[in-house]
């Protein structure tokens, strides 16, 4: 069994790398921070945090109990999670290469938000609901959480470790998106973030590949 310290550190590190990579939640916070006010962005962040908390309760609560009742289920989750992380990592490395190629020719504007704008029209009026909806409806959330939390749902892991893992993930999400909303409203952080986006994607992809292989090897 992995000691609580390294286990929590790996979970937090993987989630931090994932949350700073642009996705639906990032696009919503970005749009609101740029087009409305920090208060609107803050409401969306609370919705995102609540959605994350719901997923975490499902996985660390119900899924953990279910896995303990099914012999071999925990190992199966680790194998599936490892394969999924490996897939995400390779996909991230590919997207980083494409983003690096496009950065030289693309205009220095904000991230492309058209798909999110079409799917979430009117989020300025309902920022909390938009954030909650984006968090709950993201099809990658469940398999990703299952992947990084697979060691935490193993039999023998204390309940307090799961609680700390859930609280840490929600806290990281609030801290990152809050920092993003504040930074984008100033402009300086926005430009720095845009310049480093290919590097961020490549780093995340590499870490996910390594962690996925680790899950597959340790079983």
DSSP for 30-74, written as a single string: HHHHHHS-HHHHHHHHHHHHHHHHHHHHIIIIIIHHHHHHSTTHH
- Termini Cα distance of the chain: 12
pTM: 0.65
pLDDT band at 169 (very low <50, low <70, confident <90, very high): very high
**Does the pLDDT at position 166 exceed 80?**
yes
Which is higher by pLDDT, 177 or 142?
A: 177
Separation between Cα atoms, residue 145 and residue 128, nearest integer Å: 22
For residue 34, count CB atoms less than 10 angstroms from its CB and return exposed for 0-12, middle for 13-18, buried for 19 or more: middle
**Does the pLDDT at position 173 exceed 90?**
yes
Residue 219's pLDDT is 59
Name the residue among 198, 192, 22 with its Cα closest to residue 99. 198
């Amino acid at each position: 069994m992995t000691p609580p310290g390294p286990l929590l550190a790996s979970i937090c590190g993987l989630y931090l790398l994932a949350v700073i990579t642009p996705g639906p939640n990032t696009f919503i916070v970005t749009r609101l921070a740029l087009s409305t006010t920090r208060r609107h962005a803050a409401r969306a962040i609370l919705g995102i945090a609540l959605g994350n908390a719901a997923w975490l309760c499902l996985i660390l609560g119900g899924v953990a109990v279910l896995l303990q009742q099914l012999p071999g289920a925990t190992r199966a989750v680790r194998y599936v999670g490892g394969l999924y992380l490996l897939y995400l990592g390779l996909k991230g490395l590919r997207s980083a290469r494409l983003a690096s190629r496009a950065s030289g020719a693309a205009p220095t504007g904000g991230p492309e938000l058209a798909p999110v704008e079409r799917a979430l029209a009117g989020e300025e009026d309902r920022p909390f609901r938009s954030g909650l909806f984006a968090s709950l409806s993201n099809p990658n959330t469940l398999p990703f959480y299952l992947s990084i939390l697979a060691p935490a749902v193993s039999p023998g892991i204390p309940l307090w470790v799961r609680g700390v893992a859930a609280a840490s993930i929600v806290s990281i999400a609030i801290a990152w998106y809050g920092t993003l909303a504040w930074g984008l409203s100033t402009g300086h952080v926005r430009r720095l973030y845009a310049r480093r986006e290919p590097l961020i994607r490549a780093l995340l992809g590499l870490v996910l590949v390594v962690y996925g292989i680790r899950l597959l090897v340790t079983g």
